[in-house]
Structure 1
Amino acid sequence: MKTSKIHGVGSTQLANHWGGDAGALASPMMIIFIEMTCMSITDHLLEPDQITVGYRFNINHLAPTPPEWKVRVDAELIDIEGRMMTYRIEVHDAAGKIADGTHTRFIVSNTRFHERMQGRIAAAGVLENAPTQAAAA
């Protein structure tokens, strides 16, 4: 299974928008494009309470993409092992290939995922209000 998706590179996708100096497509934004493309291949096939979450990224960002250009993400599902799905990735702009690599997504229960997140929020609130060692001494 494979697909290609086109994504626009606007000012909010540039590295200098996020604190860098490069006025080109930021790597984290490219990874979001990759995730969206991979999800479009398989997420519609999942059970109603299942979602996928990003698990592993092995992406080589090879060349800069200027603002206002479009990028095409090509993704192909190449392996399923249990609940892990791995995709081969290539990203191209008008001048050629800008990235390649693999991305692995993990199938989880949507309900359990959000329960776990709420548990982490609750635990952080307890820790946030706990006295520090310096205050206790």
Structure 2
Amino acid sequence: MLILGIRGRHTEIVTMEKAASSLGSGGLDVYGTPAMIALMEGTALYSVQPYLDPGMTTVGTLVNIQHKAATPIGSTVTCESELIEIDRKRLVFHVVVSDENGEIGSGVHERFIVNIDQFLEKVKQRK
């Protein structure tokens, strides 16, 4: 059962594949904002997945974050998420990412609970 306060935590190493220069979001070899957003989304997703019924998952629908500091290649980054609002199928998370020197990004991420089969059927109809 989903309850407020569910927390998630995930850590990754900043590699060149996660660099802004590799992701097309900038020209520097530092942790890219798209990689940070993916870490935030994944942390939130996996924090609540065990509480969902079989055949259900969540999909990201909103990201409102700030990327506050640059992180060099080879550093370790950690995301922590907390479920702060439940509105029927809409879930809202507070997310924070830190490296060895402190916080590098934070904000709000929203996900919706969906039935996997129904969702994929709607996707097929968009072709």
Q: TM-score, normalised by structure 1?
A: 0.85
Shift of 1:91: 0.6
8 A Cα contact 2:23 2:34, kept in partner? no
Per mean C-alpha deviation after superposition, the further-off stretch among 18-27 and 112-121 is: 18-27
Paired with 1:18 and 1:37, the residues of 2 have a C-alpha distance of 20
State the Cα distance separating 1:3 from its structure 2 match: 2.5
Q: Does 1:61 align with 2:86?
A: no
1:53-77 deviation per Cα after TM superposition (whole angstroms, max 9, x unaligned): 0011011100111101110101111
Per the alignment, residue 16 of structure 1 pairs with 21
Residue 30 of structure 1: aligned partner: 36
Q: Any conservation in 1 of the 2:31–2:72 contact (CA below 8 Å)?
A: yes
Map Cα deviations across residues 68-96 of structure 1 (whole Å, 9 max, x no partner): 11101011111100101111111100111
Selected match of 1:106 from 95, 112, 116: 112
After the TM superposition, which residues 1-137 of structure 1 pair with which residues of structure 2 at under 5 Å, given as runs? 1-19=6-24, 20-121=26-127
Unmatched tracts of structure 2, length 5 or more: 1-5
Distance 1:46 1:57 in 2: 22
- The count of corresponding residues between Structure 1 and Structure 2 is 121
One-letter amino acid matched to 2:77: V
Please report how far the alpha carbon of residue 104 of structure 1 lies from its aligned counterpart in structure 2 after TM superposition. 0.6
CA distance in 2, matches of 1:44, 1:25: 29
The CA distance in 2 between the partners of 1:63 and 1:38, in whole Å, is: 21
Deviations 1:79-121 (A, max 9, x none): 1001011111111001111001110110011011110111111
Q: Which has the larger radius of gyration?
A: 1
Q: Structure 2: how far apart are the matches of 1:3 and 1:24? A: 24
Q: How much identity, in percent, do the aligned residues show?
A: 31
